[in-house]
Copies of this chain bind each other. A is one copy, B any other.
Amino acid sequence: MARDADKTREKLLLAATAEFAAHGEAGARIDRISERAGVNKRMIYAYFGNKEQLFAAVKEHSLGRLLEAVPITPDDLPGYAGRLFDYLMDHPERHRLALWRTLEPSPPTEAEERSTAEKLRVLSAAREHDEALSPVALLVFIMAIVQAWPSTYGALARPTFADAAAQRATVVEAVRRLTTP
């Protein structure tokens, strides 16, 4: 029974992730999540509470999967950036959630607070010699470079989506330069 409940929870989280990635927090509809997951709407409220709480669960779940797949490697930040880029290519919903969250600010979850604090801690230890870019700045710019190609739009979006392998190489090189004072 517990296993069935876990499966239902996971199915709902995946359907909810797709819905929030497609429509953002304000635009997401519990009805569509219910339909997509094939799970009764009342079950969603029973499992997660209201839409805001469901979105918090989606944030935690999405971050958990990312951290498991791509742990930070402070001694190899260019490699870390390359692996994050691969992850975003395989999980475009993660990138869309990031874009939505900039447009529709919402509080970080506890897991996000912990994860950011931990990344800053290992970066501080590894980057003591870098006086011009703080750990926060480095983290912000690494994330920006990793998301740069999938964030192109307009005239730049055309040539740039041609070749993910070539894009990946530029991400690694850009973070190598960024981390070379």
Chain A, 84-107, CB within 8 A of any chain B CB:
96, 98-103, 105
User: How far is B112's CA from A174's CA once the two chains are assembled, in angstroms?
Assistant: 25
Q: How many residues of A contact B (CB 8 A)?
A: 50
Residues of B within 8 A of A141 (CB): 145, 148, 170, 174
> Is A151 within 8 A of B112, CB to CB?
no
* A157 on the B face (CB < 8 A): yes
Residues of B within 8 A of A154 (CB): 59, 101, 108-109, 112, 116
Residues of B within 8 A of A28 (CB): none
> Is A153 within 8 A of B98, CB to CB?
yes
> Is B137 within 8 A of A156, CB to CB?
no
Residues of B within 8 A of A108 (CB): 153-155, 157-158
* A177 on the B face (CB < 8 A): yes
CB A25 to nearest CB in B, in angstroms, measures: 12
Residues of B within 8 A of A98 (CB): 151, 153
Interface centre among A100, A101, A144, A157 (most CB of B within 10 A): A144
* A164 on the B face (CB < 8 A): no
Q: Given contacts A113-B155, A143-B148, A177-B177, is CB(A134)–CB(B170) below 8 Å?
A: yes
* A149 on the B face (CB < 8 A): yes
> Is A102 within 8 A of B150, CB to CB?
yes
CB A165 to nearest CB in B, in angstroms, measures: 13
CB A108 to nearest CB in B, in angstroms, measures: 4
Q: Who on chain B is nearest to A181 by CB?
A: B177
CB A110 to nearest CB in B, in angstroms, measures: 10
- A135-171, CB under 8 A of B: which get 1 and which 0? 0110111011101111111111111100000010010
* A133 on the B face (CB < 8 A): yes
> Is B137 within 8 A of A170, CB to CB?
yes
